[in-house]
Amino acid sequence: MTDRHAELDAALERVTAAAREHLAAVKAANGRADDDEVWRAYVELNNASNSYDELLLDEFGEVTPWDVEAIDPEEADRQFGVGIGGVDGTEAEDPHPQVISVRQRRDYRVPSVAALLRLAEAARRANPGDGDGAPVETVGEAVLELMQAGDGSLGALDIPELESLDGVVIVAEVETPLDPETYEDNDGAGPFALSGADRVVDRLDEHAFVDLDDELAEEEDEAEAADGPGLGEAAERR
């Protein structure tokens, strides 16, 4: 066996060892997001796979199915961080910790209540959830049903059954993060109120989409009405 072959065998051993370490870290994290050990094991597996792939290509002109690029662990830690702390796994220190609150309101016109209720009924049948088979009876209930079917996103309301009107987005620096449990279910103002220590950073006004062609046609019609009858109409009257 040549030295090059031995080097390939050693590289393959590093890949399998790194794969086992990665699997062990994933199991230990048990689904925990941004786990430090999973990230480190991922980098090791990535780089071991990259090294083996390059050696195999140099020696035999063959490649693996792995399309990976080498990762510099220190550079990656600087760019992306490790977990929610520093690059060494310790909690990051920030002399200016902040909480940012994004608050959005968007209004909708309901062209047909019946059509909206039918759509919400279909969504409830498709996603029965906890088994609630009661009919959807109100517009508000229909909107909630559609948002739940769309994982709570306002994008679920971009449908023909609702006509988007204007909206507003407010970004604020707040002193205390939101705790929804401190508000009653029927309290629609409390969770959005700012305290004296909070500061509005800026406000973004959202305007409903306007069809420019329709708007131009309306302006032309208004201009013709203001100017009086055209030449053809005047000639007929004479």
Instruction: Give yes or no for residue 228 having a pLDDT over 70.
Output: no
3-state secondary structure of 100: strand
Check residue 96 and give its pLDDT: 62
User: What residues does 204 pair with on adjacent strands?
Assistant: 169
Q: Which of 124-133, 165-174, 211-220, 224-233 ranks highest by mean pLDDT?
A: 165-174
Phi, psi of 176 (to 5 degrees): -130, 130
Q: Answer yes or no: are the C-beta atoms of 96 and 170 closer than 8 Å.
A: no
For residue 23, what are the CA distances in angstroms to 28, 45, 49, 212? Answer: 9, 10, 15, 56
Q: pLDDT tens across 159-211, in order?
A: 999 999 999 999 999 988 889 899 998 898 998 999 888 999 999 998 886 55
Q: How confident is the model at residue 15 (pLDDT cuts 50, 70, 90)?
A: very high
Q: What is the pLDDT of residues 81-103, one digit of tens each?
A: 554 444 444 555 556 668 899 99
Buried-state track 186-199, b at ≥16 Cβ within 10 A, e below 16: eeeeeeeeeeeeee
